[in-house]
């Protein structure tokens, strides 16, 4: 009887599920709370990550190398405030609480993030960023690194021993880099005049890039004439220039079109230029010189199109006799020996600068062009004081010490533009600055319709500056998308492109650059972007 009762009890499974449920319920409840905590921590990390991503991007966008870049980056980050929250209310990071992720430069206790600026980052994302890559110099800063301070999230899941709730620290960080692209620029790159000829060393290339910016900021490039020769050799250097590829097609005619209009149909990224190889000297003369009102070769067909209009002041010592109806066909300057300009007839801007060899070209030793002589020949009067010219317009860098002893050719050009009677005054050979019309000359809409502020100045070109020696040594000037520009430059054409045997050369003044020491006048055609890289 007893055995039968025991057997019936043992075989009776009624209520078994309830018993198992009661036994498993603490485990199920604990697991549910753990899942909730994992979700909460994931949500908090996502919100913190979104905040630091936005801050890093905002800061990197300002790191253009100019003297106030870090200050601007800090100000941009301060404007970003993000709420990392579960829902409003609460204190700390308990359930239902929220924090505002914010940054205040110089007030660490009032900031919920740390901000560091970097010169470089390790190639491998798993490699910690060393302190040697940090910088406080605006000219060196390329990356913004934002790290949120750890936030202690109070858990719901209890710790088994003592059944106490605990906290979990949540953090996030982001690194963003600055990128610059130049749009609607002349598809030309020039070799950095401060890079040693034949350089193949990366460190020397970096030093040359720094020298370019330092010298411009100090005013050492103000008014200096630079003569750059085209070249098809595989190892160009200081004094040379080459071409950038356009998406409009290949060949000399397409390049000439882009040089003439200044519209290559693309934006060029500073860190990844696409160069155009081959000998293309002819397009320089044909395309660039439409800007002075010379329509040779196929450009004679577009002389009535405003896209190919001349600048409003084209005084360049052009011969005005003996050319017949071809005076607007090619540039045929007055010359004395191999010097462009004749004091008894006509002179171009930038005339008479004392030039020194610059590998493939030449550069003047300073702002030493013969300003007074030019003015006397072009205007027949004594040259105005430098202060008179510069009070009208000055391209002298604001941070440079002292004042120029004489104006640059570009500043004289701007002064002439502001005084129309100066443009129309004739030199001894009859040349004026007013572009010729009729015949084979410009026949399009009146030039007064196209202000420089709205349409740009046709005697300005915008080019990339490249450390040609180093870039060539690593195979980056052979048409591959790898060439890095150390800056973009705003250049003034002191005279048209000149044919020299099989080459052409450009005579220029550098009136602004991007990055450290720049005057900020290139912002109108720069597209600056930031990209998350870590």
185 and 127 within one domain: no
**For position 118, what pLDDT does the model report?**
94
Q: Alpha-carbon distance 504 to 228, whole Å?
A: 9
Same domain (yes/no): 360, 463: yes
**Tokens of residue 456, six digits:** 């740009």
What is the pLDDT at residue 318? 92
- List per-block mean pLDDT (blocks of 10 residues) for the chain, which spans 534 residues: 64 65 66 66 82 92 85 92 55 59 87 91 88 88 91 65 61 88 84 92 93 94 92 74 80 84 81 77 82 90 93 92 64 91 96 89 94 97 97 94 95 96 94 89 92 89 92 82 88 90 84 89 80 86
CA distance 287 to 298: 10
φ/ψ of residue 528, rounded to 5 = -100, 130
Nearest to 502 by CA among 279, 335, 332: 279
Q: Are 151 and 99 in contact (CB under 8 A)?
A: yes
Same domain flag for 195 and 224: yes
Q: Name the domain boundary from 129, 154, 178.
A: 178
Residue 208 in any domain: the answer is yes
Can you tell me which residue has the tokens 């004395």? Answer: 336
Residue 80 sits in the same domain as residue 207: no
On whether both 46 and 162 belong to a single domain, the answer is yes
Beta strands in 10-112 (DSSP E): 82-85, 98-101
In the listed set 117, 150, 178, which residue is the last one of a domain according to the structure? 178
90 located within any domain: yes
Q: Are 112 and 221 contained in the same domain?
A: no
CA distance 242 to 228: 10
> Do both 448 and 303 map to the same domain?
yes
Q: Is 449 in the same domain as 312?
A: yes
Residue 385: per-residue pLDDT: 97
How many CB atoms neighbour CB 532 within 10 A?
A: 13
CA distance 526 to 267: 9
Whether 276 is covered by a domain: the verdict is: yes
Counting the structural domains of the chain, the total is 2
Residue 408 and residue 192: Cα distance in Å, rounded? 21
Task: Write out the residue range of the structural domain in which residue 196 sits.
Answer: 181-332+354-365+437-528
Q: Are residues 313 and 187 in the same domain?
A: yes
Q: Which residues pair with 180 in a beta bridge?
A: 528
Kindly state whether residue 443 falls inside one of the protein's structural domains: yes
Helix residue ranges, H only, 367-500: 371-379, 386-392, 409-417, 420-424, 452-455, 468-473
Taking the C-alpha atoms of residue 14 and residue 271, their distance in angstroms, rounded to an integer, is 76
CA distance linking residue 217 with residue 515, whole number of Å:
10
411 domain residue, yes or no = no
Q: Give the SS3 label for residue 144.
A: strand
Domain check: are 235 and 223 in the same one? yes
Instruction: Give the predicted TM-score (pTM) of the model.
Output: 0.79
Residue 512 placed within a domain: yes
Half-sphere exposure of 110 (CA within 13 A, CB side): 7
In a domain, 207, yes or no: yes
Given 135, 156, 178, which residue is the final one in a domain?
178
Answer yes or no: do 172 and 186 share one domain: no
Are residues 186 and 65 part of one domain? no
Neighbouring C-beta atoms of residue 238, cutoff 10 Å? 26
Within 10 Å of residue 473's Cβ, how many Cβ atoms? 17
Residue 160 lies in a domain: yes
């Amino acid at each position: 009887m007893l055995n039968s009762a025991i057997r019936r009890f043992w075989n009776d499974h009624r209520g078994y599920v309830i018993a198992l449920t009661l036994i498993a319920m603490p485990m199920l409840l604990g697991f549910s709370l753990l899942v909730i905590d994992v979700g909460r921590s994931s949500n908090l990390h996502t919100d913190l990550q979104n905040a630091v991503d936005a801050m890093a991007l905002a800061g990197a966008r300002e790191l253009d190398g100019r003297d106030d870049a870090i200050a601007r980056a800090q100000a941009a980050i301060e404007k970003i405030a993000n709420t990392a929250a579960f829902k409003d209310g609460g204190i700390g990071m308990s359930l239902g609480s929220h924090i505002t992720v914010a940054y205040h430069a110089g007030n660490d206790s009032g900031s919920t993030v740390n901000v560091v600026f970097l010169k470089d980052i390790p190639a491998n994302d798993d490699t910690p960023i060393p302190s040697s890559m940090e910088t406080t110099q605006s000219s060196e800063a390329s990356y913004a690194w934002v790290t949120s301070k750890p936030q202690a999230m109070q858990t719901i899941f209890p710790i088994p021993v003592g059944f106490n709730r605990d906290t979990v620290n949540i953090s996030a960080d982001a690194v963003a880099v600055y990128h610059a692209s130049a749009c609607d620029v002349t598809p030309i790159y020039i070799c950095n005049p401060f890079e040693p000829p034949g350089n193949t060393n990366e460190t020397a290339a970096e030093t040359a890039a720094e020298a370019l910016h330092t010298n411009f900021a100090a005013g050492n490039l103000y008014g200096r004439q630079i003569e750059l020769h085209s070249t098809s050799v595989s190892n160009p250097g200081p004094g040379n220039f080459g071409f950038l590829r356009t998406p409009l097609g290949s060949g000399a005619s397409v390049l000439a079109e882009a040089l003439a209009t200044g519209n290559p149909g693309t934006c060029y990224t500073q860190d990844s230029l696409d160069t155009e190889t081959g000998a293309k000297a002819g397009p320089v003369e044909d395309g660039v010189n439409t800007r002075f009102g010379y329509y040779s070769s196929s450009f004679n067909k577009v002389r009535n199109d405003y896209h190919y209009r001349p600048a409003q002041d084209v005084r360049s010592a052009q011969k005005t006799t003996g050319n017949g109806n071809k005076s607007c066909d090619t540039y045929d300057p007055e010359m004395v020996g191999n010097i462009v300009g004749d004091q008894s007839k006509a002179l171009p801007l930038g005339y008479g600068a004392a030039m020194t060899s610059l590998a493939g070209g030449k550069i003047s030793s300073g702002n030493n062009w013969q300003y007074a002589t030019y003015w006397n020949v072009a205007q027949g009067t004594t040259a105005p004081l430098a202060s008179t010219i510069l009070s009208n317009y000055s391209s002298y860098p604001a941070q440079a010490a002292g004042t120029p002893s004489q104006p640059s050719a570009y500043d004289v050009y701007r002064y002439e533009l502001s005084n129309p009677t100066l443009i129309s005054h004739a030199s001894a050979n009859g040349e004026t600055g007013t572009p010729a019309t009729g015949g084979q000359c410009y026949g399009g809409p009146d030039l007064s319709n196209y202000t420089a502020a709205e349409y740009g100045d046709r005697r300005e070109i915008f080019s990339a500056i490249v450390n040609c020696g180093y870039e060539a040594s690593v195979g980056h000037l052979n048409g591959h998308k790898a060439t890095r520009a150390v800056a973009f430059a705003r250049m003034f054409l002191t005279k048209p492109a000149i044919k020299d045997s099989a080459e052409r050369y450009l005579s220029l003044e550098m009136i602004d650059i991007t990055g450290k020491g720049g005057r900020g006048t290139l912002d109108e055609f720069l597209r600056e972007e930031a990209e998350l890289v870590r």
